[in-house]
Amino acid sequence: MKQLVAAFPNQLREALQIGQSYTFKTAKRTFSNVLLTGLGGSGIGGSIIQNYVFDKLSIPFLVNKDYHLPAFVGKDTLVIVSSYSGNTEETLMAMNQAIKSGATVVCVTSGGQVAAIAQKKGFDCILVPGGMPPRSCLGYSLVQSLFVFDHFGLLKTDFKKEINAAIKLIETDIKDIQKQAKALAKKLIGKTPILYAAPEFEGVAVRFRQQINENSKMLCWHHIVPEMNHNELVGWREKDNTKAVIFIRNQEDYKRTQARIELNKTIIKKYTTSITELWSKGKTYFERAFYIIHLTDWVSVYLAAAREVDDMEVKVIDFLKGSLAKV
């Protein structure tokens, strides 16, 4: 996994090359809404894009992580099917529902049944390299979904320029990124991480949580500010130094949200001595997002090493899929 994490900047470069070389079959057209369906490492890219387009997209965009699609999906919907393996059962069921609804379907996958169905139906299907854990291929799936948005004229920003800037930032700061990651991993040994971020970075926080779960083999939870100020904050009542709070922060976060985070720190430090702030770097959304994603990916593999667990192993997920196949 360390090698896969280290390869992230090159993966982003390759993802840009794949997207730029792909020729779409489907003509440009307008839509009433967009939906991306995908789970786990295949779906998290959609969550991050959802944050990115929040103040840029003029039509609704939903990320679906279930077997079923919402009732609004129809002939005026663009459905992006994201399944790295191409065999995710929930995504395949959702894809078939999208086909029945008459939606425009575009696929991002490394192969499997998704690619086979796309070929049979004549759908656009952007193929990415296979054979890796889906969680290590965020760059591939996320970037290709952005190219789908771009093809249909849904984005007015130069995301390619932003991603190239993010690659440069990561490579320039890699020693400091790894230094921060090692220090944070050390603080998290024997603790339960609790992640807090502004709404614009919820996808980034979820990504960190998922990497802690799968790579480090630990439980973890996340919440966003200000929403957690209306519920979870009340739950901080007992001293518990096994809880390790991490605030994921951006200088660009809304000033009232920044003020809330400062107050949250004051309240929470009464109950745990482990509070860390991770500050992003960069001028654009994807610079800041990929900086934190790369840093926290390193945290997850350093933490796995410290805990002496296999960061590649996901036997319980394999067991679950095998058991479901018999149902």
Q: What is the pLDDT of residues 139-165, one digit of tens each?
A: 999 999 999 999 999 998 999 999 999
Q: Which of 156, 230, 255, 326 is flagged as catalytic?
A: 230
Write out residues in the chain with pLDDT < 70, as ranges. none
Choose the final residue of a domain: 157, 182, 207. Answer: 157
pLDDT for 168: 98
Q: Mark whether 144 and 241 lie in a shared domain.
A: no
In a domain, 240, yes or no: yes
Q: Mark whether 231 and 290 lie in a shared domain.
A: yes
Range of the domain at 256: 165-307
pLDDT for 103: 98
Please tell me the distance from the alpha carbon of residue 9 to that of residue 11, in angstroms, as a whole number. 5
In a domain, 57, yes or no: yes
pLDDT for 293: 98
In a domain, 315, yes or no: no
Enter the pTM of the model. 0.96
In a domain, 324, yes or no: no
Q: Mark whether 133 and 17 lie in a shared domain.
A: yes
In a domain, 320, yes or no: no
Residues with Cβ within 8 Å of 246's Cβ and at least 6 positions away in sequence, in order, are 184, 193, 194, 195, 196, 208, 275, 276, 277, 278
Q: Which of 100, 179, 186, 321 is flagged as catalytic?
A: 321
Choose the final residue of a domain: 123, 140, 157. Answer: 157
In a domain, 148, yes or no: yes
Q: Which of 90, 162, 202, 214 is flagged as catalytic?
A: 214
Q: Mark whether 100 and 118 lie in a shared domain.
A: yes
Q: Mark whether 173 and 298 lie in a shared domain.
A: yes
Q: Mark whether 95 and 235 lie in a shared domain.
A: no
Quick check: is 75 catalytic? no
pLDDT for 26: 94
Our count of domains for the chain comes to 2
Cα 273 from chain centroid (whole Å): 29
Whether 117 contacts 100, CB under 8 Å: no
Quick check: is 294 catalytic? no
Q: What is the pLDDT of residues 2-53, one digit of tens each?
A: 999 999 999 999 999 999 999 999 999 999 999 999 999 999 999 999 999 9
Q: Mark whether 82 and 142 lie in a shared domain.
A: yes
In a domain, 326, yes or no: no
Q: Mark whether 153 and 202 lie in a shared domain.
A: no
DSSP string, 75-89: TTEEEEEEESSS--H
Q: Mark whether 213 and 238 lie in a shared domain.
A: yes
pLDDT for 36: 98
Q: Mark whether 133 and 213 lie in a shared domain.
A: no
Quick check: is 321 catalytic? yes
pLDDT for 175: 98
Residue 239 Rama label (left phi>0; alpha psi -120 to 50; beta) = beta
Q: Mark whether 217 and 298 lie in a shared domain.
A: yes
In a domain, 153, yes or no: yes
Q: Mark whether 136 and 207 lie in a shared domain.
A: no
Choose the final residue of a domain: 157, 185, 206. Answer: 157
Please tell me the distance from the alpha carbon of residue 224 to that of residue 234, in angstroms, as a whole number. 14
Residue 75 belongs to domain with CATH number? 3.40.50.10490
